[in-house]
Structure 1
Amino acid sequence: MPTYEQVFENNLAWLKEKKGRNQSFFENLAKEQRPDYLYIGCSDSRVTAEDLMGAGPGEVFVHRNIANLVNATDLNVMSVIEYAVRSLEVKHIIVCGHYNCVGVKAAMQPVDMGLLNPWLRNIRDVYRLHKEELNAIKNVPERYDRLVELNVQEQCINVIKLASVQQQYLKKGYPTVHGWVFDIRTGLLKDLKLDFVKLLKGIQEIYYLGD
């Protein structure tokens, strides 16, 4: 792990490496961003969006929080989605969880977590909705893994509920919402293959927010 001073040395080395390959790299980077992807992931320091996607600077608009939640009362994530959809016109919105997520594990423990309680309650609500399926999984690590997947699914649904997402899709045919899980133990990305169109139609029966 680099020391504080080494971080700036690493920055200079990175700068030289980028300009060595492309003298106009930073000039081009300073231009207006037009990413096709909005990535909503976990704040876990072991999981970085661009690395696991093989993407470069400017190609992914990123928001991260504990356990990759999309909470309607969180103005941070709501603002990010609104800007990504209305201004950047992203084509894909990805909610990406990861196995061995500390936030998900904490939410499954009946323990007072102080200031984290309101945040973790969102995951506990997912647990409550799928309690029968989860409790039927006797292997505890496998139960955690399944809750990670179900949490991603529910957060994707929360994205689809939003007016900006529904209106943009009806108007332009995008963005499409995807649910992924990163297996931190193998390095592989898992596409949960959510049926976006089916989810959208089901949600519109209750949450329709078209123009």
Structure 2
Amino acid sequence: MSIARLFPRSSFFRFLTGMREVQTRRPVTHTPAPPSIHRTFSTTPASLCSADANQNPDRYFAALTQNKEWAAKTAREEPDLLASLAVGQRPEILWIGCSDSRCPETTILGLKPGDVFVHRNIANILHAADLSSSAVIEYAVRHLRVKHIVLSGHTSCGGVAAALGNKQLGILDPWLVPLRQIREQNLDTLQSLSADEANTLMGELNVREGVKTLKQKSVVLEAIEERGLTIHGVMYEVGSGVLRELDTNDTQEQLKARLVSYKTEA
């Protein structure tokens, strides 16, 4: 059972298609990179780096080996890409998603380094007073001037499953409060579904609540009014690799009411 609607030709998916068709990257002209506080490091012993990643039982050292192979391949195939990223970034998408290892945003969108600014946490929950997500949103909207904010949930979410249960989870308990509120508000419907269906429905409802939270932020409302920033709620189907866009758009009347309310309170 799903309350989602699929929009295969939505503005966000048309935008993604256009990005994939671009073969050359425009020069980066703003947002210079700050001085780095990170040092280049090498693995020890060196033999672990040179070993075949597929034969190396240590996943971390294997990943470092694969990184070197990726960097060399990228330098050969797109010699200007990494050099341009060293100058600065100008992503057009802010992605807010779950920390789940199965949901790597750049990979599932078919995009490249520098294309997506990212914030991820357990179950892609947006707490209105959370400093971490608020700082990311502020920076992405006001300084990077992203064109799209994408809030993504996903199927088979462990955080959602935890919120559907009643176990004590330590520090996760206060974090999952918004999800458990959604559970209580929709308890009868959720109890009538299978575990997988309930997980998916909770994920969709969580995305919708997150979109509402985004639309309460002054920096977001200003960008919507002044330059047409768009917000999208999506669900990632882990089993198929496909994104579904939820119908989270405001009508013109709803958007106008939000803007009037914001200006009245300001």
**Same fold, TM-score > 0.5, yes or no:** yes
Q: Please give the secondary structure, in 2, of the residue aligned with 1:55.
A: coil
Contact 1:167 1:209 in 2 (8 A): no
Give a deviation string over 1:60-83, Cα, whole Å, max 9, x none.
101100000111221000000000
Q: Which residue does the alignment assign to 2:36?
A: none
Q: Which residue does the alignment assign to 2:225?
A: 170
- CA separation in 2, counterparts of 1:6 and 1:105? 32
Give a deviation string over 1:99-132, Cα, whole Å, max 9, x none.
0000001001122111110001111122233334
5+ residue gaps, structure 2, are 1-56
Q: Which residue does the alignment assign to 1:150?
A: 205
Q: Which residue does the alignment assign to 2:126?
A: 70
Q: How does 1:87-98 map to 2 (within 5 A)?
A: 87-98=143-154
Q: For the aligned residues, what is the CA RMSD?
A: 2.0
1:47 to 81, 98, 103: 103
- CA separation in 2, counterparts of 1:87 and 1:205? 24
Q: What is the aligned length?
A: 209
Instruction: Report which of the two structures shows the higher radius of gyration computed on alpha carbons.
Output: 2
Q: Please give the secondary structure, in 2, of the residue aligned with 1:114.
A: coil
5+ residue gaps, structure 1, are none
Contact 1:170 1:210 in 2 (8 A): no
Amino acid at match of 2:114: G
Q: Which residue does the alignment assign to 1:191?
A: 245
Q: Which residue does the alignment assign to 1:108?
A: 164
Once the two structures are TM-superposed, the CA of residue 133 in structure 1 deviates from its matched residue by 3.5
Q: Please give the secondary structure, in 1, of the residue aligned with 2:91.
A: coil
Q: Which moved more, 1:27-36 or 1:152-161?
A: 27-36
The structure-2 alpha-carbon separation of the partners of 1:89 and 1:119, relative to structure 1 and needing over 3 Å to count, comes to: same
Once the two structures are TM-superposed, the CA of residue 23 in structure 1 deviates from its matched residue by 2.3
Contact 1:163 1:209 in 2 (8 A): no
Q: Please give the secondary structure, in 2, of the residue aligned with 1:95.
A: strand
Whether 2:116 is the aligned partner of 1:38: answer no
Amino acid at match of 1:142: E
Q: Which residue does the alignment assign to 2:216?
A: 161
- CA separation in 1, counterparts of 2:63 and 2:195? 39
